[in-house]
Amino acid sequence: MKALVFLLVLANLLFYAFGAGYFGRLDNPDAGRVEHQVMPERMRIVSRGEAPAAPVKAAEPAREVAPNPAPAEAAPPEVAKEEVAKLAEVPPVCLAWDHLSVAEADRLSELAANKFKDFKIARRVVAAEGNGWWVHIPPQASKAEVDKKAGELRDLEVTDFFVVQEGANRFAISLGVFSSEKGAQDRLAELKVKGVRSARVAPRPGKDSTVKLLATGPAADKKGLIAAAGKIAPKAEALLCK
């Protein structure tokens, strides 16, 4: 046991003496390291005294980018709505038939009321010469409306009138018949003083009177109405009116 301890102490002293250089040093301290290098032929010097530069990344090939087409300039919402409205709006058509008999005018008015309800019908009696003049309120649309108008006249203390019940002037209210236009105008002035505003003066209709019929409505039904009117009054031509 003492011999083993002695050998260990001696080995430590020898190792210390060798490391301290008591047994001499090699001329090149690094010479001994060459023997321990692994494949030294693959080593290459990239820089002397400077940090190596960062590797340059190869430039990527430029890609062609198709230009975005310029968006079409949209019209403001207000302008677009106005254009659509203008396209949608079709002006109504106005048709006129002259020199109709009372019977033809009645049948044509009834046809329009039943089959062409979008048309508004207006009648105008053209009195023959020598029939005199009359003061009247134009025909009302229905019996209920003419009764209402008659009640308004009574409220204004106008009682000398009568309601026309047939013919081209059905539901008109006659307020007097005169042989001269002056007499009719005097009667109209008297009625205005009492507050009657819808009365008017016109030639008095008679047996020889004719009717002018006006129809205003959608242009799409123009041909249909003209064709139907031609069967009722074949001699009357449909004319355009304003």
Residue 165 CA to residue 161 CA, distance in Å, equals 13
CB 171 within 8 A of CB 145: yes
- pLDDT value at residue 5: 74
Look at residue 160 and give its three-state secondary structure: coil
Q: Where are the alpha helices (DSSP H) in the chain?
A: 2-20, 31-34, 77-88, 102-115, 143-155, 181-194, 222-232
Residue 202 CA to residue 184 CA, distance in Å, equals 9
- What are the angstrom distances between the C-alpha of 153 and each of 52, 165, 224, 235? 117, 18, 41, 40
pTM of the model: 0.41
Q: Which residues contact 205 (CB under 8 A, 6 or more apart)?
A: 125, 127, 131, 134, 167, 168, 169
- pLDDT value at residue 127: 63
- What are the angstrom distances between the C-alpha of 89 and each of 28, 31, 86, 92, 225? 109, 106, 5, 9, 21
Q: CA-based angle 200:206:207, to the nearest 5?
A: 155
Residue ranges of domains in the chain: 91-127+209-242, 131-206
- Of 184, 186, 191, the C-alpha closest to 153 is 191
- 115's torsion region: left (phi>0), alpha (psi -120 to 50) or beta? alpha
Look at residue 152 and give its three-state secondary structure: helix
Q: Which amino acid is at 4?
A: L
- pLDDT value at residue 173: 94
Classify domain 131-206 at the CATH superfamily level: Sporulation related repeat (3.30.70.1070)
- What are the angstrom distances between the C-alpha of 51 and each of 44, 45, 48, 54, 81? 15, 12, 8, 9, 72
Residue 150 CA to residue 27 CA, distance in Å, equals 146
Query: From first to last of its 242 residues, what are the pLDDT tens digits of the chain?
Result: 677 777 777 777 777 766 666 655 555 555 555 555 556 666 666 655 555 555 555 555 556 555 555 555 555 556 556 655 554 567 899 999 988 887 888 899 999 989 999 999 988 877 665 578 899 999 998 999 999 999 999 999 999 999 998 877 889 999 998 988 899 999 999 999 999 999 999 888 766 678 888 999 999 999 999 999 999 999 889 999 86
- pLDDT value at residue 87: 46
Q: Which residues contact 12 (CB under 8 A, 6 or more apart)?
A: none
Within this chain, domains 91-127+209-242 and 131-206 share the same CATH topology:
yes
- pLDDT value at residue 129: 58
In this structure, which topology does domain 91-127+209-242 adopt according to CATH? Alpha-Beta Plaits (3.30.70)
